[in-house]
Amino acid sequence: MSKKENAISDKSSINIDQKLIEEGTAQLSSEIEVLEAWLNELDSSEDSDTEIIAARKSYNDMLRSRKEMRTTLTKQAKLQAIATS
């Protein structure tokens, strides 16, 4: 493969990676919204039994994890944007 073909191939893979990052970020944002809605429902519930406490902990853990993943993807997207400039 020539240098020119290699460069074109590299740019294509970067574009695909960027698209995957954007799709992943959108998916994580959607999941974050759902988890926040579930947590709001639990918070408005007057029950405080063990199942609700466990669900609240689980949803909070999932929410934290997805926010961390979204932050990581956002940083990766910025790094790739700089690399392709």
Distance CA 73, CA 20 (A): 10
The reported pTM is 0.74
Burial class (CB in 10 A: 0-12, 13-18, 19+), 50: exposed
Distance CA 37, CA 58 (A): 14
pLDDT value, residue 48 = 77
Distance CA 20, CA 9 (A): 17
Q: Which residue has the higher pLDDT, 72 or 11?
A: 72
The pLDDT of residue 84 is above 80? no
Mean pLDDT of 55-72: 96
